[in-house]
Amino acid sequence: MARLVVLGGGVSGHTAATFAAKWLGSAHEVVVVTPNAKWNWIPSNIWVGVGEMSKEEVTFDLAPVYAKAGIIYHQAKALGIHPEGNETSDKPYVVVESTEAGKVGKIENIEYDYLINATGPKLNFAATPGLGDANGLGEFTVSVCTADHAVHASHELQKCIEKMRKGERQKFLVGTGHGMCTCQGAAFEYIFNIEHELNKAGVRNMADLKWISNESFLGDFGVGGLHMNTMGFAVSSKIFAESLYTERNIDWVIGAHVNKVEAGKAHYELLDGTMGEESFDFAMLIPPFAGVGLKAISKTGEDITTTVFAPNGFMKVDANYNAGSYENWKASDWPKTYQNPTYKNMFACGIAFAPPHPISKPMSSPNGTPITPTPPRTGMPSGIMGKVVAQSVCDRILHGADAPLHEASMAHMGAACVASAGKGLFTGTAAAMTIYPVVPDFEKYPGTGRDLDYTFGEIGLAGHWIKHILHHLFIWKAKLKPGWTLIPE
């Protein structure tokens, strides 16, 4: 009997674990280690953050789902990986610390034959003074990164709406809270959902909304922007984004590294090296992501973390980490199998794998401050990676250690993305986009780096319907309800 241990129960980890359990059956063990008791459909957190959904609608308990799937579930956080075992055993294992009520802090070793690292990110609020600290979100801003954060954000938003109803003008600042953030899309959705809600509440004329982000141009989204095939033109996402911001009367500051937050004020540095500050009554600034801080220890007890993990804490995989400057980047730099190069029974997927480099062109201010979006690895690509890695591991367990690995490079995969711009059955809108491939391949697709036959975008009510349907579809899939395998990642 072989044992697969999956670290993390988010989109990528949950997909990997549930498919592996299905393919391996009861002859082998699948173990999931995740500190969370609940699964969260994160894309809908923005609706929780404006009070249009409850926390219960975007989360569910993991334990009964894993019990149904025959998955062994440890509510715990992984602390370290011992890929060579220890001095008394060659069997690799992970050290975990329980987060389950009644067992908090209990340390346990879990042996494995194969390991999938899908821990997701640490929300690094501490990277920006005032945005938060090592314990999480600070007191000056809100977040929609978790369902609990989104509930808090909704309460704060309602307070602002009440103030506006009483005649007090309010300023909203939404975007990224550091020069190296990703997930601009979530902030994009949130600012437009706030705008939509303020309109519904009849207080839009009492609000000033401002976008602040580390993108060098609006519509970069961490993927270097995209050109879409629209009305016979290859139109840049910059045009689309600037048009939408203008239409909804939202001003913007871009190329900004927020370097300090205090009560009612965010300080930032721009790509041209100038410093500025922006006041706010309500701010939602996405924190940068980092690895969760896993350690790797050799058989002799030596710290080999730098062998297994990149400096940002994400696990090294089969990527080209020596690509050098932007001019030398190639689509082939991106990993295909997500296998760790040193320990072949370890894989990393979703946000947990270390990308070879950003997708957007790296930039920094004259002061040397890097201000560049880091590459997104969430949503559809994250799910596909999880499934492909599970396929590889299952093949090796069932057909031998030499079974070929499956591939899913972000340079060969597309993504369907639906970004909400307001919720409502007949009044909602969302930007529905596809992008192919996620990582531009300028050799194969000269100019734009993408295949314009499969890269498009438009905004409208149809996009909102799709996003709402996807909300229910993916929760159905994650709960392993009948037909779940038919729903694509």
Partner 1 sequence: MEKKPEHNIKAYGNNFTTMTPGPFAVKMRTCVIWQFLRFLAINIKMIVVVRKSH
Query: Can residue 230 be called a binding residue for partner 1 (CB under 8 A)?
Result: no
Query: Can residue 485 be called a binding residue for partner 1 (CB under 8 A)?
Result: no
| Closest CB to partner 1 among residues 77, 210 | 210
| Closest CB to partner 1 among residues 158, 434 | 434
Residue 477 and residue 442 in contact, taking contact as beta carbons nearer than 8 Å: no
To partner 1, the closest distance from the beta carbon of 233 in angstroms equals 11
Query: Can residue 67 be called a binding residue for partner 1 (CB under 8 A)?
Result: no
To partner 1, the closest distance from the beta carbon of 407 in angstroms equals 12
Query: Can residue 489 be called a binding residue for partner 1 (CB under 8 A)?
Result: yes
| Closest CB to partner 1 among residues 233, 442 | 233
Query: Can residue 138 be called a binding residue for partner 1 (CB under 8 A)?
Result: no
Residue 263 and residue 277 in contact, taking contact as beta carbons nearer than 8 Å: no
Query: Can residue 88 be called a binding residue for partner 1 (CB under 8 A)?
Result: no
Q: How far apart are CA 210 and CA 213, in angstroms?
A: 10
Instruction: Write out the H or E segment, with its range, that includes residue 122.
Output: strand 122-123
- Angle of helix 11-24 relative to helix 62-69, nearest 10 degrees, comes to 20
To partner 1, the closest distance from the beta carbon of 247 in angstroms equals 4
Query: Can residue 217 be called a binding residue for partner 1 (CB under 8 A)?
Result: no
To partner 1, the closest distance from the beta carbon of 437 in angstroms equals 8
**Residues 387 to 426: which contact partner 1 by CB under 8 A?**
413-416, 426
Binding mask 232-251 for partner 1 (x = CB under 8 A): -------x--xx-xxxxx-x
Q: How far apart are CA 373 and CA 175, in angstroms?
A: 12
Query: Can residue 338 be called a binding residue for partner 1 (CB under 8 A)?
Result: no
Query: Can residue 223 be called a binding residue for partner 1 (CB under 8 A)?
Result: no
Query: Can residue 459 be called a binding residue for partner 1 (CB under 8 A)?
Result: yes
Query: Can residue 185 be called a binding residue for partner 1 (CB under 8 A)?
Result: no
Per CB under 8 A, the list member of 58, 384, 397, 439 interacting with partner 1 is 384
To partner 1, the closest distance from the beta carbon of 398 in angstroms equals 21
Q: How far apart are CA 81 and CA 173, in angstroms?
A: 40
Spatial CA neighbour of 157 closest among 137, 142, 139: 142
* Tokens standing for residue 6: 């999956």
* Tokens standing for residue 27: 């002859």
Per CB under 8 A, the list member of 321, 456, 476, 484 interacting with partner 1 is 456
| Contact residues for 232 (Cβ-Cβ < 8 A; gap 6+) | none
Spatial CA neighbour of 354 closest among 177, 117, 148: 117
To partner 1, the closest distance from the beta carbon of 256 in angstroms equals 13
Binding mask 424-443 for partner 1 (x = CB under 8 A): --xx-x--x-x-x-------
Provide long-range contacts, Cβ within 8 A and 24+ apart, for 56-63.
58/147, 58/150, 58/471, 58/475, 59/147, 60/475, 60/478, 60/479, 61/37, 62/9, 62/32, 62/34, 62/36, 62/37, 62/38, 63/37
Residue type, 114: Y
CA 248-252-258 angle, to 5 degrees, is 140
Instruction: Write out the H or E segment, with its range, that includes residue 111.
Output: strand 107-111
To partner 1, the closest distance from the beta carbon of 423 in angstroms equals 13
Query: Can residue 99 be called a binding residue for partner 1 (CB under 8 A)?
Result: no
Query: Can residue 465 be called a binding residue for partner 1 (CB under 8 A)?
Result: yes
Residue 184 and residue 219 in contact, taking contact as beta carbons nearer than 8 Å: no
Per CB under 8 A, the list member of 202, 442, 458, 472 interacting with partner 1 is 458
Residues that bind partner 1 (CB under 8 A): 239, 242-243, 245-249, 251-252, 380, 384, 413-416, 426-427, 429, 432, 434, 436, 454, 456, 458-463, 465-466, 488-489
